[in-house]
Amino acid sequence: MNIGFDAKRAYQNSTGLGHYSRTLISSLAEFYPDNNYYLFAPKITALFNTSGFTNIHPVSPVHFPSSLFTSVWRSNWVKKDLHQHKIDIYHGLSHEIPLGIAQTGIRSVVTIHDLIFERYPNQYNPLDTLIYRNKFRYACKNADKIIAISQQTKQDIIDFYKIREDKIAVCYQSCNHLFAERIGEEKKDEIRRFYNLPSQFYLYVGSIIERKNLLLICKALKKTDSLIPLVVIGNGGDYKEKVKKYIAANGLEHRVIFLSENPQAVASVAFQTAEDFPAIYQMALAMIYPSIFEGFGIPVLEALNSKLPVITSNLSCLPETGGNAAIYINPENENELALAMEAVANNTELRTGMIEKGITHALNFTKQRCAEAVMNVYKTL
């Protein structure tokens, strides 16, 4: 088969949607090498290096007007290129498919990661909400098959867009295989010195936005007896400033480390591409991820692969991702979170048990399993 992908995020997004796109494409190319995979992207960058695959073919607009109006090319005019490359199936990896693709004879799949903007519209710009709703709804109604990355997302698609259940397949995502590889002590020491990391720390990874609930972690941190600091990887705007004001007002400046502001991290390609993240995860004491709502919660899976205990929210899809390996807390209760943080810090037997369960649960999300699930969707078309 010739399989095409909307690869904009693979080449231009260094966070969740980008990781999903790169991991899925490379996994399919590895485990199903007889197919050809065409990556349709407005711009080809160094963020996704496909040189090791002979069956992956990047495609970008080269002729006017597509080369100038790349967003229109991606959302509409790309259909001409799909025909030129004899694409059998086109997969929109992040909520979108080209307008009118249903009339081309090319079968289409769309991945829906979450409908958080439908649940929490007040956390989004109203214009953005309208744009997202139109794009997501169009994709769900016009794609031949929908991939939801969790049971929670599948249910949201049914509830918000009234899509019939049999059109939606749940295909969990995997994470970068590097998280499961053991980093040597010498390498970890080198990275610890480079970023000036403390000898022991809790870890939070994610955008610093209200839904992801970093403020709750800071409130819980203040209630813990130990002085173990929190390392934060991620950026944000107004909500981040709100968190910083709380930190300053409560004397937590030396206990919350915003690693993404570290000059070394800002200048480091290995940090910006997340290459150093597996070592940072493996040095941490626990991943703290009390998000109020997620489509999947990839940092939880990264932590489980890193043999890192996880404390996360008992809401939305997070129990799917964490399975029986995590400690689940009410994401509105800092006392509950503080107790969980202290339990993980002080109980070696608890940590060991969580790590062992995490290794087993993470096997449900291997690259091969996730690629197989998606390939099975393609085969139904």
- pLDDT tens figures, 134-152: 999 999 999 999 999 999 9
**What gap in Å lies between CA 203 and CA 89, rounded to an integer?**
40
Among 15, 37, 14, residue whose Cα is nearest residue 374: 37
* DSSP conformation letters of 41-103: -SS--TTS--TT-TTEEEE---STTTTT-HHHIIIIIHHHHHHHTT-SEEEETTS---TTGGG
pLDDT score of 212: 95
| Structure confidence by residue, pLDDT tens digits, 165-205 | 999 999 999 988 889 999 999 999 999 999 999 999 999 99
Among 153, 115, 148, 173, residue whose Cα is nearest residue 302: 173
Among 245, 273, 320, residue whose Cα is nearest residue 46: 273
Residue 14 has pLDDT above 90, yes or no: no
Q: Which residues of 126-142 are buried (b: 16+ CB within 10 A; e: fewer)?
A: eeebeebbebbbebbeb
**What gap in Å lies between CA 343 and CA 162, rounded to an integer?**
43
* DSSP conformation letters of 324-360: TTSEEE-TT-HHHHHHHHHHHHH-HHHHHHHHHHHHH
Backbone angles phi, psi at 34, to 5 degrees: -75, -15
Sign of CA dihedral 94, 98, 102, 108: negative
pLDDT band at residue 370 using 50, 70 and 90 as cut-offs: very high
| Structure confidence by residue, pLDDT tens digits, 70-123 | 999 999 999 999 999 999 999 999 999 999 999 999 999 999 999 999 998 988
In terms of pTM, does the model score above 0.75?
A: yes
Sign of CA dihedral 26, 368, 175, 135: positive
pLDDT score of 101: 96
Share of the chain above pLDDT 70, in %: 100
Mean pLDDT for the stretch of residues 287-308: 94
In this structure, the number of other CB atoms found within 10 A of the CB of residue 264 comes to 12
Mean pLDDT rounded to a whole number for the chain:
95
Residue 226 has pLDDT above 90, yes or no: no
Quote the DSSP letter at residue 234.
Answer: -
Structure tokens at 114: 């979450």
CB 290 within 8 A of CB 316: no
Quote the DSSP letter at residue 35.
Answer: S
Among 69, 87, 89, 86, residue whose Cα is nearest residue 77: 69
Token pair 């939606």 is at which residue? 168
**What gap in Å lies between CA 276 and CA 326, rounded to an integer?**
24
**What gap in Å lies between CA 304 and CA 138, rounded to an integer?**
35
pLDDT score of 368: 95
Mean pLDDT for the stretch of residues 334-361: 96
Residue 315 has pLDDT above 80, yes or no: yes
| Structure confidence by residue, pLDDT tens digits, 26-77 | 999 999 999 999 999 999 998 899 999 999 999 999 889 998 999 999 999 9
Taken in order of first residue, the domains within the chain and their CATH numbers are 2-174+367-379 (3.40.50.2000), 177-364 (3.40.50.2000)
pLDDT score of 123: 81
Residue 374 has pLDDT above 80, yes or no: yes
Side-chain-side CA neighbours of 186 within 13 Å: the count stands at: 0
Q: Do you know the residue count of the chain?
A: 381
Residue 15 has pLDDT above 80, yes or no: no
